[in-house]
């Protein structure tokens, strides 16, 4: 078994993968970008052809990388069996035994027979598939009758060596058979077009290679280590080792906190193509919803707008409601880095790709006006609560801290990774939470040690953080900033006492109203219940509000209230619910938008860029 031939072939496939990757970069970075501003049918046709070629090179890069790793894994496993075989042959040689081409082992005479006291004759034995203790009972050295032991001590030793030889050869044959099947699978579908079906096939290829390479590669990834330790591990790898891991485990490396942003981006772009191929094979609503979001992200990655900060895909996945972490600006080289957590109703879909990515992009562009070395991240690394939900019980998710408590450790891990990979001696890092996301940030800050690396915290449209005072968030109250529109109902949610009385009042009012209205028939019953419910709830709120602390909202102290102790910056009040806007919470969505709330967007940009002393402030509630 000459494993060097396999490693040489693996190197050749690695070179082909690298060349395809370089060609892909040249097409997307240079050629496609140069055509973006050109008009006319020829330019449009060339643009579409180059985009298709870009996808083709992407596919070649992925498949060649899988072949490379398969060959390396084959060589690795065969080498292990070679070591076993050579050790057995060496021991046979030391003892003077002869190993024949068929694997049998010949041993000399030795010991003495029971009756004649003459040396017991030598012989030849073959390896067995079962352990020695399961073999037939030992026989007399002449093979005529059962006997307590073989008089020739070489017999047992030769038998053990022959079994080791047989085991190594059979294992090598099994390795050869498994990897032959894997390599036979790594074939491109017919045709020159790389479609969703092509990527679905590639996703299947990756799964097969991962299964075969599991012992060879997966165990080397320090998934349970700290982000700082992962960063050191990655720095210590050779280029060849990194290339193999990226080829087979783009999903793991791309979502591993502590890995450099440029590496995560490369891995996640590959994984994004594989995920889109996989999801395109399913027609259920969840898969199609996530696919729409991924396609939008993919389109933005491939077609960045002129003047936008460079885009980095730091995380992508289809677990739960979907995962997506996108940076505008390089988080490793920028001195100022912010990570924004979205809230209620956010999941990986087309709306997220359109709205939340725009918020992060606008934030980065705004911050770079004050300090060029700034990057902004949108972090959807948890399952935010959804409304409407699948069941009435699930509709209470938004009233619970459960999602925030589950998301907080993941957010802290991510922030620790940002600190581990940032190349500046003293980076300025800001944690940003919007809506329910501010509760997630608050829960992260309340954990032991606070949010790793965070210098400032910004809370936008917050229903509370779970804290009673800004000093509890780990950065000092002077470094906690709050944006809260007086027309944003989310920032004025009734506290739990008020909520309980409101629900009770609404229930009682609905029953009473239904009874009164029943005199007018079925429609009267329904109408009376609705009117009574609204009236009862309002009455309950008035009663509870009169006796409860006005600084308290649903998840603790109102961050915009003076009792919380944070810095409240100026935001536009926005439209009144229903009366001036298109719905009940229009003002809740404007904080990041420089066109709809210039004051808020500007203040956020100042804080993130390290110019918090220049914000415009607003009176506390």
Tokens of 267: 């891995």
Whole-angstrom distance, CA of residue 237 vs CA of residue 259: 12
The pLDDT of residue 506 is 38
Phi and psi angles of residue 416, each rounded to the nearest 5 degrees, phi first: -65, -35
| pLDDT bracket for residue 584 (50, 70, 90) | confident
Query: Looking at the predicted structure, is the pLDDT value of residue 139 above 70?
Result: no
Residues 568, 560 contacting (CB under 8 angstroms): yes
DSSP 468: S
Q: Which residues pair with 557 in a beta bridge?
A: 552
**Is 214 in a helix, a strand, or coil?**
helix
pLDDT of residue 486: 93
| pLDDT tens string 354-366 | 999 999 999 999 9
C-alpha 480/C-alpha 471 separation (Å) is 8
Give the Cα separation of 574 and 484 in Å (integer). 11
Radius of gyration of the chain from its Cα atoms, rounded to whole angstroms: 34
Consecutive H or E run containing 552:
strand 552-553
Length of the chain: 621
pLDDT digits 0-9 by tens, 83-124? 999 999 999 999 999 999 999 999 999 888 777 778 888 999
Q: What is the pLDDT of residue 72?
A: 84
Q: Which of 157-166, 189-198, 200-209, 214-223 has the lowest mean pLDDT?
A: 189-198
Phi, psi of 256 (to 5 degrees): -100, 110
Are the beta carbons of 615 and 607 closer than 8 angstroms? yes
* pLDDT class of 545 with cuts at 50, 70, 90: very low
Mean pLDDT, rounded, for 410-423: 98
pLDDT at 143: 42
pLDDT mean over 414-428: 97
CA distance 465 to 444: 10
Residue 598 reports pLDDT greater than 90: yes
Mean pLDDT of all residues in 370-397: 78
* Least confident piece of the model among 39-48, 508-517, 533-542: 533-542
CB contact at 8 A, 159 and 167: no
C-alpha to C-alpha distances, 415 to 163, 223, 431, 442, 516, nearest whole angstrom: 54, 16, 9, 14, 57
Mapped onto helix, strand or coil, the DSSP state of residue 120 is strand
The answer for residues whose C-beta is within 8 angstroms of residue 573's C-beta and 6 or more apart is 485, 486, 487, 587
Predicted confidence band of residue 582 (pLDDT cuts 50, 70, 90): low
As separate numbers, helices (DSSP H) first and strands (DSSP E) second, the chain gives 17, 13
- DSSP one-letter string for 283-318: -SHHHHHHHHHHHHHHHHHHSPPTTPPPEEEEEEE-
What pLDDT score does 37 carry?
67
pLDDT of residue 492: 84
Query: Among all chains, which residue has been given the structure tokens 């997506």?
Result: 324
Q: Strand 480-483 to strand 567-568: parallel, antiparallel, or no bridges (unpaired)?
A: parallel
Structure letter (DSSP) for residue 617: B
The string of DSSP letters for 318-385 reads: -STT-EEEEEES-TTT-SEEEEEE--TT--SSHHIIIIIHHHHHHHHHHHHHH-SSEEEEEEE-S---
Q: Give 141-161 pLDDT, tens digit per residue.
A: 444 434 445 678 899 999 999
Longest dimension (CA), the chain: 119
The pLDDT assigned to 524 comes to: 43
Q: Give residue 510's pLDDT.
A: 41
Tokens linked to 160: 């053990």
Q: What is the distance between the alpha carbons of residues 432 and 376, in angstroms, rounded to a whole number? A: 10
Residue-averaged pLDDT of the chain: 84
DSSP result, 43-98:
HHHHHHHHHHHHHHHHHHHHHHHHHHHHHHHHHHHHHHHHHHHHHHHHHHHHTT-E
CB atoms near residue 200 (< 10 Å): 19
pLDDT at 33: 65
Residue 122 corresponds to which tokens in the numbers above? 């030598």
- Binning the chain into helix, strand and coil, the percentages to the nearest 5 are 55, 10, 35
Query: How far apart are the C-alpha atoms of 381 and 364, rounded to whole Å?
Result: 19
> Rounded mean pLDDT of 317-327?
97
Cis omega (within 30 of 0) for bond into 388: yes
Backbone torsion region of residue 374, taken as left when φ is above 0, otherwise alpha when ψ lies between -120 and 50, otherwise beta: beta
Angle subtended by helix axes 239-248 and 196-217, to nearest 10: 130
pTM for this prediction = 0.77
**pLDDT higher than threshold 70 for residue 330:** yes
């Amino acid at each position: 078994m000459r494993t060097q031939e396999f490693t040489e072939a693996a190197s050749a496939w690695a070179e082909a993968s690298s060349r395809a990757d370089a060609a892909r970069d040249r097409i997307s970075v240079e050629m496609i970008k140069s055509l973006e501003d050109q008009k006319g049918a020829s330019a449009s046709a060339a643009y579409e052809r180059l985009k298709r070629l870009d996808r083709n090179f992407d596919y070649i890069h992925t498949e060649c990388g899988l072949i490379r790793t398969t060959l390396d894994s084959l060589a690795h496993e065969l080498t292990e069996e070679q070591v076993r075989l050579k050790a057995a042959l060496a021991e046979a040689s030391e003892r003077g035994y002869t190993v024949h081409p068929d694997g049998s082992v010949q041993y000399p005479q030795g010991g003495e027979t029971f009756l004649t006291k003459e040396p017991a004759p030598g012989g030849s034995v073959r390896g067995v598939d079962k352990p020695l203790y399961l073999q037939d009972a030992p026989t007399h050295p002449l093979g005529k009758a059962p006997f307590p032991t073989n008089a020739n001590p070489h017999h047992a030793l030769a038998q053990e060596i022959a079994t080791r030889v047989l085991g190594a050869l059979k294992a090598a044959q099994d390795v050869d058979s498994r990897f032959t099947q894997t390599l036979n699978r790594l074939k491109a579908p017919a045709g020159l077009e790389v479609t969703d079906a092509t990527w679905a096939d590639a996703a299947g290829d990756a799964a097969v290679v991962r299964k075969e390479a599991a012992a060879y590669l997966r165990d080397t990834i320090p998934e349970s280590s700290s982000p700082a330790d992962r960063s050191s591990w990655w720095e210590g790898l050779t280029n060849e080792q990194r290339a193999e891991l990226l080829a087979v485990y783009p999903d793991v490396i791309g979502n591993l906190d502590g890995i450099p942003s440029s590496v995560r981006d490369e891995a996640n772009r590959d994984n994004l193509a594989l995920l889109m191929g996989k999801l395109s094979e399913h027609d259920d609503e969840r898969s199609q919803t996530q696919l729409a979001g991924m396609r939008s992200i993919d389109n933005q990655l491939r077609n960045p707008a002129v003047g936008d900060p460079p885009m980095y895909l730091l995380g992508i996945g289809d677990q739960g409601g979907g995962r997506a972490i996108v940076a505008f600006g390089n988080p490793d080289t920028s001195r100022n880095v912010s990570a924004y957590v979205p809230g209620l109703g956010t999941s990986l879909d087309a709306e997220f790709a359109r709205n939340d990515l725009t918020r992060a992009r606008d934030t980065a562009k705004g911050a770079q006006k004050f300090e060029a070395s700034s990057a902004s991240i949108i972090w959807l690394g948890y399952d935010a609560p959804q409304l409407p939900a699948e069941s009435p019980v699930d509709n209470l998710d938004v009233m619970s801290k459960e999602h925030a408590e589950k998301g907080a450790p993941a957010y802290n891990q991510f922030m620790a990774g940002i600190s581990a990979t940032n190349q500046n001696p003293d980076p300025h890092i800001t944690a940003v939470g919007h809506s329910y996301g501010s509760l997630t940030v608050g829960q992260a800050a309340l954990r032991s040690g606070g949010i790793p690396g965070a210098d400032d915290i910004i809370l936008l449209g917050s229903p509370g953080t779970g804290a009673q005072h800004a000093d509890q968030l780990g950065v000092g109250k002077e470094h906690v900033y709050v944006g809260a529109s007086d027309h944003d109902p989310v920032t004025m949610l009734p506290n739990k006492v008020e909520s309980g009385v409101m629900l009770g009042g609404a229930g009682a009012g609905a029953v009473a109203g239904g009874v009164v209205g029943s005199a007018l028939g079925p429609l009267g019953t329904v109408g009376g219940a609705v009117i009574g419910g609204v009236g009862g709830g309002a009455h309950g709120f008035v009663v509870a509000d009169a006796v409860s602390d006005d600084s308290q909202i649903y998840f603790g102290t109102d961050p915009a209230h003076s009792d919380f102790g944070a810095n409240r910056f100026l935001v536009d009040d926005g439209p009144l619910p229903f009366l001036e806007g298109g719905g009940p919470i229009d003002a809740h969505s404007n904080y990041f938008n420089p066109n709809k709330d210039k004051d808020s967007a500007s203040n956020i940009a100042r804080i993130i860029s390290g110019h918090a002393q220049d914000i415009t402030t607003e009176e506390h509630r």
